[in-house]
Chains A and B, each alone.
Chain A
Amino acid sequence: MLGLEPFTRASLSMIALGYASATMAHWWPVAAIRALVLAALVGVAFAALRPNPPDPILDCAQVLQQKSGASILVGLVFAVVFLSFVAGTYLRGRRVPMVATAVPALSIYGLAGVFTSGFSLQVSFSGFLFAAVYAMAYEHLLSQSTPATGSFPPRRSARSALGLAAGYLALLLPLSFPLASLSQRMTPGLTPAERDRLRRTLFSTDDDPGYSRLSETVSLAGGMRTTGEQALMRVKTTTPGLLRGRIYDVYERGCWSQSQLIETSIPLGDGPVGRRGRRAARRHAGGLDASDAREAAREERRRYFTHPPRHSRPPQEHARRVTQQMDLLGRVPGSVLCAGIPLEVITTREDLTVDVTGLVFGKTDWREGDTYTVVSEVPDVPEPLLRRAPGGQPPEEGHWIQIPVSVAPVRELALTIAGKERTPYARAEAIADYLRAHCRYSLSVPSAPRDEDPIVHFLTTGRKGACDLFAGATAVLCRALGIPTRLVTGYLLTELDDDGTYLVRERDAHAWVEIYTEPYGWIPFDPTPGNNTPAGSPSGREWQAWWSKLSPRGLTFLAEALLLGILGAVVAGARGKRRHEDASIRFRPRASDAHGETQHAYHQACRHLARRGVPRQVGQTAEEYLAVVRESGLPEEIRVSMEALTDLFEQACYAPAGSALPDAGRARVLAATIRKLPRRWKRS
């Protein structure tokens, strides 16, 4: 199934509830539910659009700063929502139809769809849209009028109505795909960064998952995982793989954090400056790109050597050096990202510190345009050797095997899974195999209950999670078996551009673990199934693959044209229907003729009374309408005038042509009397 956003789920259930109540509208508690749903949908839409809401679904202030086009869009949506309600209420009398309830929901959803490029959201949006259309079509059927047809609607049995509504759905569902692609085309030209910020403001459910922010803590609480397309940096390297960002050793209350033992960091001493730095830069960046070397020469670059003092390093024969040059494209936390343990860092910054684990940090964030080169040491051990390697105690201080009491149930599970294996790496592999077999990768994870540990919940009930839960669970299970394990967050290099560089996007954020083995030190280990980057839920990818297979460009075009054609036909049909009704309800004045003038006067009076809440139904005769008018509590004068006018009208409309002419002057006077009824008057 598609991973539906919380907003979609809420909207769908609202529509469903409102719809269910619409089918039983005569029963007063149901009418109350209907009103409630209506109010809730309107409320959600308006709360979301209100500037500076306490918990913003859409932060207007931020949108307004972003781009004038976006602000116009927000204004437009606001106006459309508001006007559609005013118009709908005015046109349909006091009973607001379900169509109106869908308007704010659709507007908000459409807005969300514009600012997010996630395909699954587009699909779910389309699904939502057509479910709403389906519900409305059915409601129309129930209220005895087929939408956009001019023919007389006979009452249908509930079964045939359902069948017809299903027919609508079958017809409309295939159109949801061209609609999605159409909405993609119509997306305004926001930059990915702008779009991503908006997406975050639209869908920030809980706190942002820490693993993508390299923040001080990583919360495993549920919520939408990051799928942002925003490009963060460009990496020039010869080896793809992981970019380490931050290391965590303490797990407590569903949250990974750094203990004081590893938090302490020491400033890196000043390295050699000036020409030496330039030369060094050229040497290290050499073979990558000459222009970058020139650029490096232009700036005052510093070269730092980190001297990994107490932390473990792999033996020389099982380590290789990797040089990576980062060009920042967006704002990224100040960690010096690299493949392994940094040895040399070349940058213009002066505020770098190194912590116990050997990771290098800057106090402030990297900004767009920053650049740095880092040489790091990556363990390169063949797997058979790893599987044989025994465990040990890492030289660095840290809470490497601590687990909280809340995950105690995990111990037994860990023994069942990996009790047979002897070495740390083999045990970790067994655990990863278990997780792949029993848990599913998903970016949209429901929150664990408050009193339950997220990892325990993931392993026992939820069985659904992104890389942070997979890594977190692996770490806890390994620690339960006494293996020193730590959680690492960073990025995964996957997207190789034509120019040989890797592009890192927000969605490439990743979390994995490192386990300690003798004598190779900390070995990175990624338990996430399929080595997935969080690039979209698997189902979303399937949809996308299916759709791209199905639709070459021409087909998409054709489908869009078809959609527009059908929309046009529906509009034309609706117009035709209105004309058809007009012919029987409204009068085309024939001013020259007493019959015509009398009828005209009568219709003016009817229209006026309809606006005061006493409309004439199509199936009502003039006499029946008069009876309604008599009982509606209108002022005496109006009632008497209407009685006389009805008589005149009947004479004008139905009497033989040769008989006495109706008194058109009197009809005009009577109509004028009725039109004196104040605008404020409403049927009580």
Chain B
Amino acid sequence: MNHATEPLSDVDLQALAEKTTRIVNEIQTVIIGKAKAVRLAVVTLLCNGHLLIEDIPGVGKTMLGRALARSVGGSFKRVQFTPDLLPADVTGTAIFNPKTAEFEFRPGPVFGNVLLADEVNRATPKTQSSLLECMEEGQVTRDGVTYRLPHPFFVIGTENTTESQGTFPLPLAQLDRFLMRLSLGYPSNEEELLLLERQMKRHPIEDVKPVVTPEEVVTLQEMVTSIHIERALREYVVKLVDATRRHSAIHFGASPRGSLGLMRASQAYAATAGRTYVIPDDIKAVAPAVLTHRISLKPEVRARGITAEGTVEEILRTVPVPVLRR
């Protein structure tokens, strides 16, 4: 893919930035504060990636997912993952039609533009993997027939980390399918106060309106790919990912999919900032969300209280930033 030949025009860029801002603003009517997390969530959408939101209960994981899904428009599906959920409940199932005397495929919730997979770690690995297969391949194969998923296809998974009982934590291989993993954290006192005030009468989620159409999202996704990223910065991306593989505290570093995701996400991030080119700050801004869930720390390191977040931050701090054009 050539980035330099097809620079984004200013008009296109303006449209992109404007639409992004609209989505962000729309979501922020529901999610108070958390501008960075919301922006990253939108960046995920622009990258044609999938989003995993992981946090303690009640900070708005599901709300963020719902708001994002609603603001994009298109068909929105939601699946509450439970231990008894079966793969067919997600992908769809073949039902015998007595009229035609044939098995007829009933599309499952994955056949939507936005799928909110709530508490994805509550389902059994079997169900999880059926979802994750769809995420990666954009298609469902049932009884030898392949059904294409609609475009855009955006999965928002949420995960509750506080409880471990009755959950099936996603393995590293499946976490890798998500472009970003975000956590929201508690709001500040002022934000929380504002939240209370807004929800005195009714929940604002009802007011969230689609601000972009799915077709527009596809266009935006294509535009993002033509954001320029300088060769030195591509090298920087590779160095960062490579550093996660060499780091002594890390057992498994990020995959090449991680590098790809990091580049894509930084492009989208630059686009949301209204720039036609990536600067190192874009990479640094998305790197924690892109890399943290792709690495696994060594058990002995984890026992000492070192977190993946801290390790990624340290890598970002120490890897030399390219400040020279080659």
Residues of A within 8 A of B (CB): 144, 152-157, 160, 581, 583-585, 587-588, 595-596, 599, 603, 617-624, 649-650, 652-659
Contacts and interface: CB of A to CB of B under 8 A. Distances in A.
Contact of A650 (B239, B243, B279, B311): B279
Nearest to B245: A154
A649 B277 CA distance: 13
Nearest to B284: A621
Interface string B120-158: 000000000000000000000000000000000000000
A654 B278 contact: yes
Which of A154, A588, A657, A658 gathers the greatest number of chain B CB atoms within 10 Å? Answer: A154
Nearest to A593: B325
B95 interface: no
A656 B276 contact: yes
Contact of B281 (A144, A617, A623): A623
B322 interface: yes
Contacts of A623: 279-281
A623 B233 CA distance: 15
B4 A160 contact: no
A204 B35 CA distance: 72
B325 A652 contact: yes
Given A621-B281, A654-B277, A658-B7, A152 B316 contact: no
23 contacts: A152-B318, A152-B319, A154-B247, A156-B248, A618-B320, A618-B321, A619-B317, A619-B321, A620-B321, A621-B281, A622-B279, A623-B279, A623-B280, A653-B325, A654-B232, A654-B278, A655-B228, A655-B230, A656-B4, A656-B230, A657-B4, A658-B4, A659-B276
Nearest to B5: A658
Contacts of B196: none
B248 A157 contact: yes
B321 A155 contact: no
Contact of A152 (B4, B239, B279, B322): B239
Contacts of B301: 157
B319 A619 contact: yes
Closest A-B pairs by Cβ, 3 of them: A656-B228, A621-B280, A618-B320
A584 B321 CA distance: 7
A654 B246 contact: no
B323 interface: yes
A652 to B, nearest CB: 7
Given A596-B325, A599-B324, 10 more contacts: A155-B314, A160-B248, A584-B322, A585-B320, A620-B321, A623-B281, A649-B323, A650-B279, A654-B325, A655-B277
A247 B136 CA distance: 101
By CB atoms of chain A within 10 A, which of B7, B279, B301, B319 has the most? B279
B203 to A, nearest CB: 38
A654 B230 contact: yes
Contact of A653 (B3, B247, B311, B323): B323
Given A599-B325, A621-B279, A654 B320 contact: no
Nearest to B233: A654
Nearest to A616: B323
Contact of B320 (A157, A619, A656): A619
A592 to B, nearest CB: 14
A434 B284 CA distance: 77
A581 B318 CA distance: 12
Nearest to A652: B325
A595 B233 CA distance: 16
A659 B7 contact: yes
Contacts of B64: none
A418 to B, nearest CB: 64
A621 B240 CA distance: 14
A160 to B, nearest CB: 6
A596 B324 CA distance: 9
Contacts of B230: 653-656
A160 B298 CA distance: 14
B68 interface: no
Interface string B1-14: 00110010000000
Given A623-B279, A656-B228, A153 B284 contact: no
Contacts of B284: 621, 624
B324 A587 contact: yes
Contacts of A657: 4
A654 B248 CA distance: 31
A157 B249 contact: yes
B7 A654 contact: no
B302 to A, nearest CB: 12
B186 to A, nearest CB: 25
A655 B277 CA distance: 5
Nearest to B277: A655
Contacts of B247: 154-155
B85 to A, nearest CB: 41
Nearest to A651: B277
A655 B230 CA distance: 7
Nearest to A598: B325
Contacts of A652: 325
B286 to A, nearest CB: 13
Contact of B280 (A153, A160, A596, A622): A622
Q: Which of A157, A588, A599, A656 has the most CB of B within 10 A?
A: A656
Interface in B1-50: 3-4, 7
A264 to B, nearest CB: 80
Contact of A622 (B4, B316, B323, B325): B323
Contacts of B311: 155
Interface string B296-326: 0000010000000001001011111111110
Nearest to A145: B318
B228 A155 contact: no
Contact of A583 (B278, B280, B318, B324): B324
Contacts of B239: 152
A588 B323 CA distance: 11
Nearest to A154: B247
Contact of A621 (B4, B248, B321): B321
B248 A653 contact: no
Contacts of B232: 653-654
B215 to A, nearest CB: 27
Contacts of A160: 248
A581 B4 contact: no
Contacts of A153: 318
Residue from A649, A653, A654 with most neighbouring chain B CB atoms (10 Å): A654
Contacts of B321: 584, 618-622
A211 to B, nearest CB: 59
Contacts of A622: 279-281, 321, 323
Contacts of A654: 228, 230, 232-233, 277-280, 325
Nearest to B228: A656
A656 B279 contact: no
Contact of B3 (A596, A624, A656): A656
Contacts of B318: 144, 152-153, 155, 618-619
Nearest to B243: A152
A656 B279 CA distance: 11
A545 B239 CA distance: 54
Contact of A581 (B3, B7, B320, B325): B320
Contacts of B317: 617, 619
Contact of B243 (A154, A588, A596): A154
A152 B246 contact: yes
B276 to A, nearest CB: 7
Contacts of A599: 323-325
A79 B314 CA distance: 40
Output the residue of B232, B317, B321 with the most chain A CB within 10 A.
B321
A624 B325 contact: no
Interface string B222-239: 000000101011000001
A584 B233 CA distance: 12
Interface string B270-303: 0000001111110010000000000000000100
A155 B320 CA distance: 15
Contacts of A155: 247-249, 311, 314, 318
Contacts of A587: 323-324
